[in-house]
Amino acid sequence: MNVDRLLEPFSFAQFRDAYYEKQPLLISRQAPAYYEALLTLDALNAHLGQSGLPSEELQLLRNGEPLDEAEVTGTESVFARFYEGCTIAIRSHERHSAAVLHLLHDLERVFHAPVATCVSLTPGSVHGFSAHQGREDTIILQFAGTTEWTVRGGSRKRVIAAALAPGDLLYLPSGFTGKARFAGALSGQMTFTLEKYTYADLLRQIADNAQASPWLRRSLPVDVRSGTSNAEFLREVHQFFDDADLPAYLDRMHSDFAEERLPDSTDRLADYVKLPSIGAASRFRRRSGVWPELTNGGGQAVLTLNRKSFEFPASAAESIRFMIDAGEFVASALPGNGDENLTLCGTLVREGFLTIVG
């Protein structure tokens, strides 16, 4: 499951141009098994029954409000509260599911923003409404049961009134509010929340470097409240921002963002076992959640992965670019010398950039 598959039958370009940050989108598929590779009720049932989830990942809600921790004393009390009509909310499910992690990484790549996940299970005994406040963009996937949604815009005008069935998707941009009424024996939804960066975030990134200005490091004058130094202060601030290296600050934001992503560590042990026997027919895939940048200089190709840099001979640049663009490939398809390419693949498997898929 990736972003393109998630938005079918729409292309990402159609979604971006017509809906993103503009209006809600409801995709009704009549395909109950559409999200089976991503999430199933059976898998969640096993996950909840066999593991003790950390308190920061598991929350119980009654009428939309979190329960006091004293009401939740263990796995059995979770199910007891669920039978009484409470919603089970599981945050950060990507920490327990490779499929969810890979989709999360693809969403973060496409939107270049952190994405938060929440899986919610609501019993059929809950017939009231749960409200979505509309402060951030959300993508809601219905994987079990049915949920009836009423979505309104800023003018309180009703935009969408429809039922989400398994396989359906609802996109709500910020500024739109939604109310969900749960129907059937159980309703299961997975929500992806886009925690987008703003110009205010960029402004803070620049302002955090104000200590670099000798004038701005000066102490405030004792008569600061008189306003006599306002003009000089504003002049220095304008100069500080005029001199700011905007591309450098954007690169720093990108680096911070990349470094904070949850790494894809699936099958690392399996890679270790397979690595000695790789050959021309071996198939590799670039791991999700890495943000590669390839530069050439000084007779070398430099691959940067989330602030880690690796130097290779300049002759390796074409093969590395192929890996970045292809996503998944067979070693024999790489341009250049076959033995050198296998050595390159082995190095990048060990460094967590590639995984062996066959």
- Assign 269 a pLDDT band (cuts: 50, 70, 90): very high
Domain boundary among the residues 159, 194, 229 is at: 194
Q: What is the pLDDT of residue 76?
A: 67
Condensed to tens digits (0 to 9), the pLDDT of residues 221-266 reads: 887 777 777 888 888 888 888 888 888 888 888 878 877 888 888 8
Q: What is the DSSP secondary-structure string of 161-198?
A: EEEE-TT-EEEE-TT-EEEEEEEEEEEEEEEEEE----
What secondary structure, in 3-state letters, does 216-258 show? Answer: CCCCCCCCHHHCCCHHHHHHHHHHHHHCCCHHHHHHHHHHHHH
Q: What is the CATH number of the domain that holds 307?
A: 3.90.930.40
Task: Please give the residue range of the domain that contains residue 107.
Answer: 3-194
Other residues' Cβ atoms within 10 Å of the Cβ of residue 16: 15
CA-based radius of gyration for the chain: 25
The answer to whether residue 155 sits within a structural domain is yes
Q: For 36-78, write each residue's pLDDT tens digit.
A: 999 988 888 888 876 666 667 778 887 777 777 666 666 667 7
- Contact (CB, 8 A) for 132 and 180: yes
Regarding whether 273 and 144 lie in a shared domain, the answer is no
- In the chain, % of residues over pLDDT 90: 36
Q: The pTM is what?
A: 0.82
Q: ∠ at Cα 333 (338, 101), nearest 5°?
A: 110
pLDDT, tens digit, for every residue of 110-149?
Answer: 998 899 999 998 887 666 566 666 778 999 999 998 888 8
Report the pLDDT value the prediction gives residue 26, as an integer from 0 to 100.
94
* Average pLDDT score over residue span 306-318: 86
CATH at 126 = 2.60.120.650
Same domain, 155 and 300: no
Q: Give 294-304 pLDDT, tens digit per residue.
A: 888 778 889 88
Q: Phi and psi of 158, rounded to 5°?
A: -70, 130
74-89 residue pLDDT tens: 666 778 888 888 888 8
Question: Of the candidates 174, 194, 214, which is a domain's last residue?
Answer: 194
Q: How many separate domains does the chain show?
A: 2
